[in-house]
Structure 1
Amino acid sequence: MKRMKVLLFSKYSRRGPSSRLRSLQYLPMLKEYGIDVQVRALFPDAYLEERYHGSPSSALYRAWWHGTQRIVQILRRSEHDLAWIEGELFPYLPNWIESALARSVTPYVVDYDDALFHKYDLSQSPWVRRLLGSKIDKVMRGATCVIAGNGYLAARALRAGAARTAIIPTVVDEQRYTTVRHGADRPSVIGWIGSPATEHYVLDNREVLERVCVKYGARLLLVGPHVDIAKQFNSVVPEVVAWSEDNEVAMIKRMDVGIMPLRDGPWERGKCGYKIIQYMACGLPVVASEVGTNNDIVRHGENGFLAASASAWEKRLGQLLTDWSLRSRMGLAGRMCVENEYSLKAQAPRLAEVLRNAGRGSCAA
């Protein structure tokens, strides 16, 4: 079989979670399938460091600089069979610029792991809505195939006029995760992993979490939010730990129950449920909001519980905190679900097929 050359326009380098999970973690396995991928990251680690720990003005300057570099990369002739674009080539640039440059890298597939289109069509700025509200629809329409992380994103692509779609969920490298079993002789730990941008989902459920922890003598472990989130709790003081790629698995393995609270809104319906998959990969049962793709990943009563109200959250967490055997059963079911559906091993062959077919002008669904 002839080797295939793919030019990947990722948004970030490996430090950016979306790029790492949707594309970069697949590269070694794609190579085994005869697909060689050359990476062109828009924002490297230096930009992310400036954005998170430097000054906003310096980060903005770096963004413009790296955007200019991407234009040079696109216009420079490259021998490739297919371009693989994460979301869009240029954030906040009008589609006529995007489409003009995209002609230099056709054919292309475009990949989404969240509702990027809502950043524009639901923006608070009327100018953003007017100028960019339909941009992502046009990017989808021009693609040979749209790779979507869930059904909500795929449905948007079809409404936008995309020729073909393929649903490939966001997955874990199952070899990095091993199952954990804590005895019943220690305080149970309710755990959440996320970022400062998503910590408001935890705070939405603060009162429920406090009641449950007090009632059952449980502890709360939060990985990745702002450190001062602990000050917003009253009767419970959560342990707050900074996130890093190196420590995330170890932190999850300290937990007994993993949670994924969400609001029920358009942006949330586009999420791919990655933290649920991480919990399950470590053999943890989960409690998750009954929103979006959570309904597909969590098989209620089998590998976890779905909860649509505060009372449901309190009830389901109570069940898991008081029943060690239930936690164990659900945790094993979750791990099996990950291995069969939400792992690199399960999805890498599908992604390779999608890329190969797209390079020939078609797409595996």
Structure 2
Amino acid sequence: MTTEPFDDAPDFEPDEISDRSLLTAQTRSAQIEAQLEVDPSQFRVLTGDRPTGRLHMGHYLATLRNRVRLQDLGVETMILVADYQVITDRDEIGSIADRVRDVVTDYLAVGIDPARSTVFAHSAVPALNQLMLPFLSLVTDSELRRNPTVKAEHDATGGRPMSGLLLTYPVHQAADILFCKANLVPVGKDQLPHLEQTRVVARRFNDRYAGGRQVFPSPDALLAESVNVLGVDGTKMSKSKGNTIDLAMTEDETAKQIKRAVTDSNRTITYDLDNRPEVASLLRMAATLSDRDPVAIADEIGDGGGGGLKRLVTEVVNEHLRPIRQRRRELEADPGYVASVLAEGNARANEIADATLAEVREAMGMVYSAS
């Protein structure tokens, strides 16, 4: 693969994405999709999750399926289990080892192939994290404080002092992406500011420390179609709210959870994103998993009401997840294999990170010999 940036790749301010810049990113993303069909070997993707709990339907629809698609196309894929980022905004991290194991198990169950994708953990790759030091010298505190995620997380604390790790979260993400010289990052449009901060870090490092030589690429965004689904309580699907449909749930647990789902009193089911978001979310979930039109599903249910909708969604979800859950049970029965996948991925990530750090030290004139 090549880590050269695309000549026509747009540069954005890291804290603000204009409509014009978003359109440019969408256009570039469409061009990349076409290139993926022709020569996927020119790309290296970095993606991942914080191990805050088992993965759920929101993760599956928004990211997991796309990762498997990219892997199957032949794109070199690096998947990060961001265990260090769990402590970014939390005092208690619980049984982090169990959570990491659960996430890796979910990855393998949905189709991530360790022979084609590298699965690794933050804390197991020291050289990745060491890149934070030179990268921090390339950004200002005002740039970090303007980052939308940092602002949102800080606002959510109710005035609680911000941790240094939360403030530097965008730089940590830049290290995640650049340590392996990823040139493509699947993101939603709300994550574009993070990616633009990474582009700024890469450009400034190349200019300031490498004399204009390209040590790091400027990664592009691969903007996927949004398939966000609501939790069963009608708010964003989140493990902390207990409103998720976990990939690891049994069929009975899934049925009970979907039965709790918020709908409305209108017995005629219609697909109306603006006026009936909870109903629309359930329809969209069923449509995406069954490769159908949500309007057609709504017409099929007709005046069956919320009960009819929930029964159909339950059937579709359980049918789609059945082979994934079977694979997950097999993996749970073989924890040694799951551990070996992570160990091998960590070893591979360390090879890459060590080589990148050596190149960084050379560029910065920090290689010292005994002579």
TM-score (norm 1): 0.32
Higher strand proportion, which one?
A: 1
Higher helix proportion, which one?
A: 2
Q: Give the number of the structure with larger relative contact order, counting CA–CA contacts within 8 Å between residues 6 or more apart.
A: 2
TM-score (norm 2): 0.32
